[in-house]
Structure 1
């Protein structure tokens, strides 16, 4: 990444007490990481197949609470050429789940000076509700372009026609909410879907690639321009996944395959040295992957002011 993070994104004053967006550049591509807020979840979700004592020790070493902690929700806006691409869309509002500190994306896009009508494309890493729900907020669809393109793996669309929750480890209420949100999203936006099979170039230097694992159609987005690269990994990588890539996350529909995907991706990122951003890494989640013995090490980027 360039040491000059000067971006073409507008930066009006928002009056927020904490930062909720962070701009970087990948060659000629502008990137803005936007926080959708935080999602409080049980710590068991980090590695439900792990020995409880090992999980507790990891949490203690990370100075994290033993029972529940806040998972970041990060969304990315990409400007490449004349296209403005929203990668994932945050949680939106689900009153049945009582998650008041999440679902902040629409207000924070406005605070960043991003008009919803300027978004030409949406890329979905997958169709879990914390990645599509922002587009279901009242009044949002009417503000989007009528020719909006939504890029999502064909396998993901098919999966949510009859989703399998037999291998997940979620808090009560989440499977029903995920199922209902994906169904509603498909009904409201199907005409905008642009399904792809394995890989698709959305814009110059912006490629979405299906990985599977977390969900059958889970995908990552690779940015490349001017010799610089960045990967948005969606839910393929979680905080604990660097040191314990074989620990299963509770939202993974195929935990064994998700672990294999995570390992391959971390190995690739360690070899290339490119920047990584992921949905649930602490905001702004920009960093790199280093090898640490038989595992990996997360190296957060220094904030560039």
Structure 2
């Protein structure tokens, strides 16, 4: 993969026209699906894998339905179901091209045709799958690993691809516990199946870590737990600048209602503690945040708002 953002007019496989201007969609898209930025000397590309339409109860199954409905009304969101964004990040640092999470892929039994767009959108951005040296998984829910299970994808990846994932995550999916989740029918079975298929297909590529691991210069993955036992976040830091990809530690509702339990959280109470700690850290440092399910491109910062927090989206840079 060539540099995501060029400092010269020299042509590369990933052109400035194709990636750095988020307002220019692909030929078959009405809206942009990728957004480029730099974190110091690290190149970053946020890529949309599409959207997941899910019941609004998934946002807060421990909240009073009337309170949840009021929040949705105040946010001008529909009361029953709305589209969750799916964001993936590509990072270039130290000669490595790193994919953080791999999107949903294709699961026809769940009828989610608007998600699973990652592979074609990487291609549209000029990113050859064979150029990816490392993959970091925030966790092994199917919307983070499914892109690698699409027919023909594995054959296009490097034979020496390194997949970095917390050891606790791999262990958990040997016999996953869904007793504290609150998911729509079909999702637990689909999650189990995707995780099993993924481990079977990629076990030789797994590079497991316990708590923290540096993948490339300035690219550090750290286990948080909560959402799943091995859930991790990835911090990019270079030249005094920093950005954290939070995976599923933070959802759109999590800033002003951080104690609301998401339906996909396997340990919702710990997930809430993880969320509050992370948001406090980011509010104190002023560092950037990107997360899987915040509205694309989800680049922004966190501010304190009384006892809770406030999401401050970045101004898009054209």
Q: What range describes the TM-score normalised by the shorter chain of this pair?
A: over 0.9
Listed one character per residue, the Cα deviations across residues 189-221 of structure 1 (whole Å, up to 9, x for unaligned) are 000000000000000000000000000000000
Q: Are residues 1:37 and 2:35 paired?
A: no
TM-score where L is the length of structure 1: 0.97
Give distance in 2, aligned partners of 1:47 and 1:102.
22
Residue 74 of structure 1 pairs with residue 72 of structure 2: no
Q: RMSD over aligned Cα, in angstroms?
A: 1.1
2:5 aligns to what? Answer: 7
SS at match of 1:30: strand
Query: Out of 204, 207, 211, which is 2:220 matched to?
Result: 207
Local SS of the residue matching 2:208: strand
Structure 1 segments, 4+ long, off by >2 Å, are 8-14
Q: Deviations over 1:39-87 (max 9, x none)?
A: 0000000000001111001000000000000000000000002100000
Distance in 2 (CA, whole Å) between partners of 1:17 and 1:225 is 34
- CA drift of 1:119 comes to 0.1
Secondary structure, aligned partner of 2:174? coil
Q: What is the deviation of 1:14? A: 2.6
TM-superposition CA deviations, 1:88-131 (whole Å, max 9, x none) = 00000001000000000000000000000000000000000000
Distance 1:30 1:7 in 2: 7
Residue number in structure 2 paired with 1:136: 149
2:287 pairs with 1:289 = no
Hey, what does 1:165 align to over in structure 2? 178
Q: Distance in 2 between matches of 1:28 and 1:14?
A: 27
Paired residues of 2:47 and 2:87 also in contact (CA < 8 A):
yes
Q: What aligned pairs does 1:211-222 form with structure 2 within 5 A after superposition?
A: 211-222=224-235
8 Å CA contact 2:26–2:32 kept in 1: the answer is no
Question: Separation in 2 of the partners of 1:24 and 1:51?
Answer: 39
Q: Which runs of 5+ in 1 are unaligned?
A: 1-5
Task: Say if 2:219 is the partner of 1:197.
Answer: no
**Aligned partner (choices 172, 175, 178) of residue 191 of structure 2:** 178
1:91 corresponds to which of 87, 91, 104: 104
Deviation at 1:295, TM superposition (A): 0.4
For residue 297 of structure 1, report the CA deviation from its aligned partner. Answer: 0.2
* Distance in structure 2 (CA, Å) of the matches to 1:45 and 1:90: 19
Identify the residue that residue 275 of structure 1 maps to in structure 2. 288
Cα distance in 2 between the residues matched to 1:74 and 1:167: 25
Separation in 2, partners of 1:33, 1:158: 29
Return the alpha-carbon distance in structure 2 between the equivalents of residues 57 and 273 of structure 1: 30
SS state at 2:270 partner: helix
Deviations 1:2-32 (A, max 9, x none): xxxx814434473122100000100000000
Number of aligned positions between the proteins: 301
TM-score of the aligned structures, taking structure 2 as reference length: 0.93
1:60 matches 2:58? no
Aligned pairs for 1:212-251 (under 5 A) are 212-251=225-264
Distance 1:247 1:95 in 2: 30
Structure 2 residue matching 1:96: 3-state secondary structure: helix
Aligned to 1:262, what secondary structure does the other structure show?
helix
The runs of 5 or more residues in structure 2 that have no matched partner are: 7-13, 19-24
